[in-house]
Structure 1
């Protein structure tokens, strides 16, 4: 009884024809999931934050708190 030789010729091409479309489809699913699961909510959060953000008011609050060394509070 002898062992059957493995089919080595064309093995890479045969495996690629099977695995390459699967890898491509999974990468598209991962990219779409990241886009709609991470980046879109992040963009919405930034848009909501800057919709109500007042930079001058925030600066005055930080100035009054004494965060800046070069800007005196308005009371001094």
Structure 2
């Protein structure tokens, strides 16, 4: 009759064992997310800003906006 009994559940150390498993999983997931964000979002964004400002002429942009009448306090140049 003793062979048909269910084994006793583990009572000691169960919380520690489960926490260890979940902390390792959470650490791996968070590091993976950080790496994906860095190389999927941050690096392409930095590269795009660098490419934009490589040939950006702020005075040319200002003159174009002034001619378009964007600024109220700056009068367009008389040509």
* Same-fold status (TM-score > 0.5): yes
Of the candidates 12, 24, 31, which is equivalent to residue 15 of structure 2?
A: 12
Of the candidates 44, 49, 58, which is equivalent to residue 46 of structure 1?
A: 49
Structure 2 unaligned regions, length at least 5: 1-5
Task: Return the offset for 1:5.
Answer: 7.0
What is the alpha-carbon distance in structure 2 between the residues aligned to residue 64 and residue 8 of structure 1? 79
Structure 1 unaligned regions, length at least 5: none
The higher radius of gyration belongs to: 2
TM-score (norm 1): 0.85
Between the two proteins, the alignment pairs up a number of residues equal to 75
**Alpha-carbon RMSD:** 2.0
Of the candidates 63, 66, 72, which is equivalent to residue 63 of structure 1?
A: 66
Helix, strand or coil for the counterpart of 1:67? Answer: coil
Task: Return the offset for 1:10.
Answer: 2.8
